[in-house]
Amino acid sequence: MALTVYLNNEKLGTLQLDDRRRFIFQYDAAWLTRPGAVPLSLALPLRAEPYIDDSARPFFSNLLPEAQLREAIARKLGISETNDYGLLEAIGGECAGAVSLFPEEAEPVTDGDYQALDKQVLHDLIEQLPRRPMLAGEGEMRLSLAGVQNKLPVYFDGQTISLPRGASPSSHILKPAIREYPNSIFNEAYCMRLAQAVGLNVPKVTLIENQGQWLYLVGRYDRERDSAGNLYRLHQEDFCQALGILPETKYEKEGGPSLADCFDLIKKYSIQPAADQLQLLNWVVFNYLIGNADAHGKNVSLLLTQLGPRLAPFYDLMSTAIYPGLSERPAMKIGGEDRPQWIIARSWEKLAADCGIGFKLVKQTLKKVSRTLQEEAPVFAQQFEQTQQAREVTTAIQQVIAQRTRKIESGFDAAARRQD
């Protein structure tokens, strides 16, 4: 049985398995002749011929949750966790962006509404998420969000949190604290607000307290409103999808994207390459300074508009360096180096050469971002006085920023003295 692939309820193509259970994806003939048709992925350019497994699987596999979240969903649905196709069939009704997958005989739902959640229902829902991840298998809920963290697509109007039903799009992603790291939502909210302060394009984030639980809400960057105020979905894909890389190899050391690959992708496809390269450079520097070692190819995306691709707003920004049990090595090397203590002036110089950007611009960006963070981090920390956990996490992140800023300054000072 085939799965029909839709983009905003328009049939785009078909995904099926061959007799060896390998993926085959083919664009619909009507989509190929449609004015302004966009590709499903940059790795899957528009063409009549089908794409076989090596080309097709990376895009679709990257739509699915990962790690323990994937395992929990598969167990709840009675599907093997290695069965990508079965999981897409079960939960592919709303994926990231505007993509959805439905069994061939089923039509996508075109109407819907929102179910408002009172405080007690919301509390109970969050408490049950580990056993009911993303509400998979709950009635008509067919939600698939990539990543390893439990989360839920919701609609948030600034006051009330609601569950989308039917075809109604979500407006936000709701995240409870990670059980192993209970201050994680304060960490991410603080880092996202710092990112905005240094000029990174990020969605608005909100922290709310509900019956003693703190929850993190981030606006979906793959949603916009039309002139009538109606919410609609935007087509997007992460860099692993665009480069045809499977989710299990998202880290550079496992074959995933390097920073050079990311910059090359922007140069080749973006409709605003200069602006997007500068944003990407700011992102690299920011992640280094806050100690975010988990900035891999699935944590940066493109919006695939009718005018062409452009860099999407950034997301999932948090300091992993404050947690002793997590790896300190960045997901993508800086100038060939992934040991933070060895990322020195010549690492940044090599990064500039590897990525085809000016070293002068790299130095200016390092100086600007580090200066802004030192000035703004204490100011923004005042917004996080809710709990002792929040105060502790902002203090720890400021210490990482200060330590790495000193390393940058001393490194470039030493390099300058050697040149004199």
- Taking the CA atoms of the chain, what radius of gyration do you get in angstroms? 22
Which residues make beta-bridge pairs with 100? 6
DSSP helix/strand/coil, 52 = coil
Which residues make beta-bridge pairs with 112? 166
From the list 294, 316, 338, 354, the catalytic residue is 294
Q: How far apart are CA 273 and CA 287, in angstroms?
A: 21
- Quick one: tokens of 286? 């920011």
Q: Which of 213, 211, 193, 212 is nearest to 203 (CA)?
A: 193
- Quick one: tokens of 347? 């690492």
CB half-sphere exposure, 382, CA atoms < 13 A = 4
Q: Which of 385, 383, 377 is nearest to 403 (CA)?
A: 377
DSSP helix/strand/coil, 5 = strand
- Quick one: tokens of 59? 């895009």
Q: What is the DSSP letter of 98?
A: T
DSSP helix/strand/coil, 13 = strand
294 is catalytic: yes
- Between CA 408 and CA 415, with CA 413 as vertex, the angle to 5 degrees is 95
- At residue 22, what is the residue type? R
User: Residues with catalytic annotation?
Assistant: 294
